[in-house]
Each structure stands twice: as C-alpha cells, then as structure tokens.
Amino acid sequence: MPDLMDDVVALAKRRGIAFQSSELYGGLRSSWDYGPLGVELRRNIRDAWWRATVQLRDDVVGLEAAVVMSPKVWEASGHVATFHDPLVECLACHQRFRADHLEPNEEGVTLCPNCGNRAFTEPRQFNMMLKTHLGPVEDDEAVTYLRPETAQGMFVDFAHVQTVARKKIPFGIAQIGKAFRNEITPGNFIFRTREFEQMEMEFFIEPDTDDTWFPFWVEQRVAWYTDLGVRPEKLRLRDHEPDELAHYAKAATDIEYEFPFGWQEIEGIANRTDYDLAAHQAASGEDLTYFDQEHERRFLPWVVEPAAGVDRALLTFLVDAYRVEEAPTAKGGTEKRTYLALHRDLAPIKAAVLPLSRNETLVPTAREAFDLVKGEWMCDFDDAGSIGRRYRRQDEVGTPYCVTVDFDSIEDRAVTVRDRDTMAQERVPMVNLVDHLKARL
C-alpha cells in the first residue's frame, strides 16, 4: 500500500498536478504549488462542491469573507485561547511532534519517528494560528492573524447576509477560501499543510432541531464523494468522543478515507449549536438573534457545519482513481497501462484531439476538430510522439476521451473517439462530435 502513495505522488509531480513550492531555492516543507492540470482539477472540485451545496439548493447562499479579519473575531471565537495542539520535543534529535500523533509500539513504548529515542519533553500547548502585523509598526496593537478557518466570516456576517438574501431559517452560508494553520507535523504530500483551501458551509437551524439536520448533512456529504466516483468501501464515518470535541462542538462526525497511510479524515461535520453566534453577540454587543415572524419570537440559531478541504479532496480523488492494468498492444501482446479513473466532472482535460501524425495535410483537419470542442470544455491538442504513447499520456491524467484524426478524416470528415476506461473506439462524423461528447460528459 505505501507503494501506491509513492506512485500517486510521483505521477502528480511528473505530470505537473502538484509539486514542491520554491523548489528553485530548495523548497519549503509542506508547501505545494499546483501546475496546469492541478489547477483544473482543483477548479473542478470547487465547482462540484459549489454546485451540490449552493447551486442545486434554494436554501444556501454564498459568501467571500476577507482572509485577514479583526483580531477580536478570534478572541471572541475562542481560537486565541483554545486553538492549541500538544507539542513534545525529542530530547535526542530535538525534532518536534504533536503528542497526540505519536502512538506506542507493541511494547507500549513511544519512540521518536525520526531517531528512535524514547525520551520526550512534557507536552505543552502550541497555538496554531499564524500571526501577522497590520500597519507600519510591529507592536502588540498591530497583531492580527491569518484565518485558521473560513467559518468565522460566515458567523460575523450572518445577520447581514440573512437580511440581504431574505432567507428564512433553516438556511446556509457557503464559502470556499484559503485558511492557514501552523501545523507542528505537516506531511503526507498535500494531506496536511500549513496553507490550504476549505469548502465550508454553516447551516443555520432552529435550536434543538440538530437531531434532524446533523444526520441529514452527514448523509449528504458522504453521497457527494460516492457520486463523484469514490469507492464506498473506502469511506467510513467516525464519531468524535466527548474528550476530543472542539471547544465549539456538541457533536462531530468525520468522513474518513482509507489512504495508503491509513484511515484519515477528509471532512468533518460539526454540531456547533449557538456557540459562535452567542460568542460574537456577547463580544460585540450586537444583536445576532433571528426573528421568526411566523411564530413572533427571537432566537439564536444553531449551526450544523460540513467542512471539507480542496487539497484533501484532491488527494482522495487521485488515490481512489489510480489504476494499473494489463492492456493489449497493437502487436497482440500486453503492456501495463496506468490511468486515472476520474469522474468526468473532475477530469482536468475532458477531451484530447490527436492527429495521427504531424503531416501538413492532417494537422489542419485536427485543428478544426479541436476548435469545435475547446469552446465547450478544457481540451488538449497533442501531436508529439506515437499515437499509442499519446493515448497513455492522456490516460495517465484521467482524460475521458481521445479524438483521433487520421488520413480518412480528410475525406470522410469523421474522427475516432476512444473511451478512457474501456478503450473502445467509435467512428463519429465531425459535425456530430460535440453532441457525441456532450451525451457522455
């Protein structure tokens, strides 16, 4: 199983999906840049989440809050006082680790993952928020933070958004944006990083209706992954124990995926009750209650929060879609074929147009086919190398369809469409190409 992770990481780096940031200067630990294919895959993940969470619902609206907010927000929310991880240091190699990520071996002894030493300092609390300063003077009055979550923007803007959107409870506010956490032990490629992108939604409900809405959103969020092709047997739910709940949560359930490095959280659904709105109401002195006209009463809404990460979702989809199989060759033998069985909504490139050769009479016809499809989807034009090698290149990045233009295409104005998963080929008139792909994408 660890070999699978190595293979996926190697593919991601080789094909420019994700690679080390600042590599020119030796790189920065756990900091990653996304190349041309990674950018498209991330965009498709965000679009798929937005479509399911906002576009297809009439009870959720969007927001883009600022990354840098008043430090009073983080004081009121409890992040300044409680957003900590337990930090220990190995007394031999002086590497630092999260205490709750170190597990004892079969003999019940906890060893340093770096050097094998068994002696550590006592755990101390480490605040994970990244500090910065606003203005020309770096003093205590100028201290603020890069947001560790996108949620608080939706809480402090709740009353304004509810008014302008004219939404009645229950309704949600959704946001996609960057967040920053000074993780002690980032790692496993893009799984745990200090800079990441969240897809969060705060769903505001009547008090004590969480028994209905909490399981509803757990079910909805699991379905989002399976609808996009993730194998159900690779997913599981894990309820948080009372002693591991966040300071704001009454209950929480993680959606976990079985990675090569074990079962890990890819999304959390939390019952935040009215903790956040009550905290901001008390700290700001502003009334954040909701007026229920039908029953002529005011109340502070409770909140159910599904929170996912673009980066972890991307890694989940890559790992789950990675396939290696024996495929037939033109000479009657077999060879290993590596491909990504990505859902068509997620695939970075939807179709690739491949002229059989760079023949000067063939390329113009291939360009005609490319011009037909590029206005509909992100597409690729590839004329370098043998046709078999080009098929493999497109398979490797999950392109659902390859459109081959051969010498017959000049005369009969038809192209060959090849399916990524089955490798079946179908001859299609060029005039029908867009409709043919639309019916399948």
Superfamily of domain 349-438: Anticodon-binding domain (3.40.50.800)
Contacts of 280 (CB under 8 A, 6+ apart): 73, 76, 77, 155, 156, 286, 288
Tokens of residue 357, six digits: 């050769």
Query: In whole angstroms, what is the distance from residue 99 CA to residue 125 CA?
Result: 10
Distances in Å between the Cα of 261 and the Cα atoms of 4, 232, 265 are 10, 18, 12
Alpha helices of 375-424 — where are they, by DSSP H? 387-396, 407-412
Q: Which fold has domain 2-81+138-318?
A: BirA Bifunctional Protein; domain 2 (3.30.930)
Identify the CA nearest to 199 among candidates 74, 316, 54.
Answer: 54
SS3 track for 175-229: EEEEEECCCCCCECCCCECCEEEEEEEEEEECCCCHHHHHHHHHHHHHHHHHHCC
Q: How far apart are CA 160 and CA 103, in angstroms?
A: 46
Q: pLDDT in tens for each of the 441 residues of the chain?
A: 558 999 999 999 999 999 999 999 998 888 999 999 999 999 999 999 999 999 999 999 999 999 999 999 999 998 887 776 777 888 888 787 877 878 888 888 899 888 888 888 888 776 778 888 898 878 777 789 999 999 999 999 999 999 999 999 999 999 999 999 887 777 799 999 999 999 999 999 999 999 999 999 999 999 999 999 999 999 999 999 998 898 889 999 999 999 999 999 999 999 999 999 999 999 999 999 999 999 999 999 999 999 999 999 999 999 999 999 987 776 677 788 999 999 999 999 999 999 999 998 899 999 999 999 999 999 999 999 999 999 999 999 999 999 999 999 999 999 999 999 999 999 999 999 999 999 999
Contact 440, 420 (CB under 8 A): no
pLDDT value, residue 84 = 67
Question: What are the structural domain ranges in the chain?
Answer: 2-81+138-318, 84-127, 349-438
Lookup: tokens for 362 = 């063939």
CA 264/CA 260 separation, integer angstroms? 10
SS3 content of the chain, % helix, strand, coil (to 5): 35, 30, 35
